[in-house]
Structure 1
């Protein structure tokens, strides 16, 4: 605990200033994360009397482990520093601002894998989706190894955090996972378990098995908005659905009318992003384009590509790579 206090003291030295936008409490106050976890545990339950609700809250409260609380406490100094560096803005609302004249280095740096295709802990095999958290930890959907691998900054090998027990449909297995994100509120991984046609929630810390939250869906990509709603590409129905917490059917927000070429269709959707206004962006492999879908506007808006495949700046070749707004 003294180490954490010293770290907080170091962060605040000569850096306290009045700001207009305060960070959300969950970023700097562990108890707010606890309330979020409790809310998720009780979501969907119905009560006829307040005492029933109180009893369930007490039961779930007693299930909290000391190790989980310690993990939340240990993260506070780093999260405080990030909040300060961002001028007080909440971490989950952080936007990446890239200057219009930004120039990129010609050569990249390997941050995961790079040791040939294989099953080793320092290898990957057909990696598909990935997610980078606030601490720059990378989570990779290692598709052909049927696992999700965590890579810390600067690490030379990863750590299996989901799956890794061979291809299968048991609760402790995955089958060709295609994408992964982190749900901060429940501190869990949300995984597109494509081969099993399901979406799985898996504890991010020492999880040994997952929980199916959506079934019978050919999940290709997924993301989450600031409100905690989940957006999932169903490549079997060529559509994108939004699932608010606790929902099992979801709401259609893009496509969903089969494979045709009129404005209401998607063709081989690959990856998805959602902006702060809840507009949905979808990369379409079959049409070599990126489309935008806005609530209340019929059909899609082409925002990139749409002129056939090719190397010209007016064309695209949509690969299976994730993008963001």
Structure 2
């Protein structure tokens, strides 16, 4: 699997349609407004193909304009990072797609996945790539690679009872490595606290850690001891600081402070700048109308000096259970 900073052919996204996540007309309209903003931000840097449910093309076109390709397929939800394929390459110009087993983030009682479980294969077919399927339950937001053999995972996702009951750590690693071409897994004990709520993923790594380049990993930091992620983030950072990658390097850890807001309506938030998206020459970065938005943008400009950083309000997306990285999926250029 190429790292996310490698050149892209395009980005794949999915358009929100009525479902338990967007259960009222107002919530759906707000979601479409937020998704549309991300589509337009990414389309400044590279082509975007948007999967829409039958009958939803007009609403999508009105929001994203004429420069985005639309394709109709049945959908349950709109989290393309998780329902779409993970693209891989053999390094000589051949592209393929991994079709993980998708079961609604651990067969959660509110989730529907009859159609979403087929989206990875639909997208791979549209991209003209062969598909490698696996019985391992996994999502794209639950993995992050450095492009040199290292993958980040979390205990509560790949080893969770709702996804892969009975599988050992060694069995999960073997399946992950076989499909991604990785050699070394760095396991984090958990994700952010709020990610274990009703619409959470039970610990996706793309809220807590991401490689900036080989040997350098960004990690979510919660400076306020009042938030349960304060101690969680210290533990995660410590795990990463003592870890080595597939090349034997000790990882350099760069902490990215969380926004200042701690809770909304008496519930902890998992707002995270780590849930960003790298596209060709750009970084689409979550914003939260928060004093730390510009601080995070400055850190990302230092880490990615050749890319344009674009801040996009992600609060509506987070209210539905994810962020900008969760709704995008890169197709590498080969």
Pairwise TM-score range, normalised by the shorter structure: 0.3 to 0.5
Of structures 1 and 2, the one with the larger relative CO (CA 8 A, separation 6+) is 2
More helix by share: 2
- Specify the structure having the higher radius of gyration (Cα): 1
TM-score scaled by length of structure 1 = 0.36
